[in-house]
Structure 1
Amino acid sequence: MTDRRTRGEIFRYTGFTLDADGTLTCTYALDDESFTERFDCGPGDHTSPAAQAVARLVFLLAGISYYKTGAPPLIEGPADGLTARERTFLRDYYLYGLAEFSYTGGHDLSDLRIEAPERTAAPVVADVKTGHPLVPFGGGIDSVVVVEQIKEHLPDAALFVANTSDVPFAPIEDTAVVAGLPVLRARRHLDPQVLASRERGYFNGHVPVTGILSALALLVAVANGRDRVVMSNEHSASEPTAMVANGVPVNHQWSKSLAFESAFREVLAESVTGLDYYSALRPYSELWVSRRFADLPEYHLAFRSCNKAFYVDAASRLSQWCGECDKCCFIDLILAPYVDRSRLEEIFGGREPLGRADLEPEFRSLLGEPGRAKPLECVGDEGECRRAVLLAAARDDRAGNPLLASLAAYVEGAGMPVPSEETLLHRQGPHFLPDDAPAA
Structure 2
Amino acid sequence: KHSMPYRGTLSNRGLLTIGGGRDSALAVGLLRDSGRSFACMMLNPSSAARKIAAHVTQNDPVIIRRAICPELLDLNRRGFLNGHTPFSAYLAFLGAVCLVLYGYSNVIVANERSSDEGNVRYRGAEINHQYSKSLRFETRFDEYLEKYLVNGARYFSFVRPLYELQIGKLFAKFPEFLETFKSCNRTRSDSWCGECPKCVSVFLTMYAFVSREELTKIFGRDLFHRDETIPILRGLAGLELKPFECVATVGEVIAALALSITKVKATGEALPPVLDYAEKHIPGVGDSGTASTILSAYGPHRLPQEFESVLTKALNDSPRSL
Fold-level similarity (TM above 0.5): yes
Partner of 2:311: 439
Determine helix, strand or coil for the equivalent of 1:278. Answer: strand
Correspondence 1:215 to 2:93: yes
Structure 2: which 5+ residue stretches go unaligned?
A: 313-322
TM-score (norm 1): 0.65
Partner of 2:209: 338
Give 1 or 2: higher strand fraction.
1
Partner of 1:410: 281
Hey, what's the Cα distance between the residues in 1 that align with 2:122 and 2:236? 18
Does structure 1 retain, via aligned residues, the 8 Å contact 2:108–2:156? yes
Hey, what's the Cα distance between the residues in 2 that align with 1:307 and 1:397? 33
- Deviations along 1:9-29, one digit per CA (max 9) or x if unpaired, are xxxxxxxxxxxxxxxxxxxxx
Does structure 1 retain, via aligned residues, the 8 Å contact 2:198–2:245? yes
Q: Give the AA of the match of 1:145.
A: L
Q: Give the AA of the match of 1:129.
A: S
Hey, what's the Cα distance between the residues in 1 that align with 2:288 and 2:84? 30
Partner of 2:165: 287
What aligned pairs does 1:3-402 form with structure 2 within 5 A after superposition?
A: 119-130=1-12, 132-163=13-44, 168-180=45-57, 182-244=60-122, 248-271=125-148, 272-309=150-187, 317-349=188-220, 351-369=221-239, 372-395=240-263, 396=266, 399-400=269-270, 401-402=272-273
Shift of 1:207: 2.1
Hey, what's the Cα distance between the residues in 2 that align with 1:238 and 1:174? 29
Give 1 or 2: higher helix fraction.
2
Determine helix, strand or coil for the equivalent of 2:228. Answer: helix
Determine helix, strand or coil for the equivalent of 1:307. Answer: coil
- Deviations along 1:113-167, one digit per CA (max 9) or x if unpaired, are xxxxxx235333241111x11100011110011111212335321111012xxxx
Does structure 1 retain, via aligned residues, the 8 Å contact 2:42–2:62? yes
Q: Give the AA of the match of 2:248.
A: G
Hey, what's the Cα distance between the residues in 1 that align with 2:69 and 2:156? 30
Shift of 1:301: 0.9
Q: Equivalent pairs: percent with the same residue?
A: 33
How many aligned residue pairs are there?
305
Hey, what's the Cα distance between the residues in 2 that align with 1:297 and 1:228? 28
Structure 1: which 5+ residue stretches go unaligned?
A: 1-118, 310-316
- Deviations along 1:367-409, one digit per CA (max 9) or x if unpaired, are 111xx11011010110011000000111135832121122133
Q: Give the AA of the match of 2:14.
A: P
Does structure 2 retain, via aligned residues, the 8 Å contact 1:384–1:419? no
After TM superposition, where is structure 1 displaced by more than 4 Å over at least 4 residues in a row?
A: 178-181, 412-415
Q: Once superposed, what is the RMSD of the aligned Cα atoms?
A: 2.3
TM-score (norm 2): 0.87
